[in-house]
Amino acid sequence: MPSRASYLLLAGAVFLLDQTSKWVVGQALALGETRRVFPELFNLTHLRNPGAAFGLLSNHDSPWMAAFLIAFSVAALALVATLLWRGPARLAGVGLGLVLGGALGNLFDRLRAGSVMDFLDFHLGSYHWPAFNLADSAIVVGAAALAAEVLRGRRGALREG
């Protein structure tokens, strides 16, 4: 059974990959610039998102919204850290590590720059998915791992292995 330290290392790796990818994109693309990688499917686009994941709440330009998102992130991090401390089952621990690393990456951006850099830009025909980043991806995959653990009906999946 992996230790808490292994889940924290996973979170650290996610954080470093997220921040490194954002740094590379920030160096390669000006704000608003797009590079087509796979036409009609995938672009790299340097965007700043003052809202939540996938552009949610990005139209609410308010200092209260920024404070709310920071407070929500800190509360979510505290919850994830508490659940990790309890020694979760393996899949739940991986999910929590992914969520922790992703949440830290986006919180770091928000505290440093007031918004989060998004750059992964997928589209198919006229359908366009909101741009996102590696931290958002880690959070979604981590949440899916947690949901899978719950759906498998594992009692105590978030408390003990």
Q: What is the pLDDT of residues 128-150, one digit of tens each?
A: 889 999 999 999 999 999 888 87
Q: Is pLDDT of 58 > 90?
A: no
Q: Read off the tokens for 157.
A: 């999946």
The widest CA-to-CA distance across the chain, in whole angstroms, is 49
Strand order from edge to edge, sheet including 116-124:
34-38, 42-49, 116-124, 127-128
CA gap 161, 86 in Å, rounded: 9
pLDDT-derived band at 56 (thresholds 50, 70, 90) equals low
Q: Which helix (H) or strand (E) holds 73?
A: helix 63-85
Residues of the chain by 3-state class (helix, strand, coil), percent to 5: 60, 15, 25
Q: CA 140 from chain center: how many Å?
A: 7
CA gap 159, 82 in Å, rounded: 10
Angle at 117 between CA 69 and CA 109, to 5 degrees: 50
pTM above 0.75, yes or no: yes
Task: Catalogue the active-site residues.
Answer: 118, 136
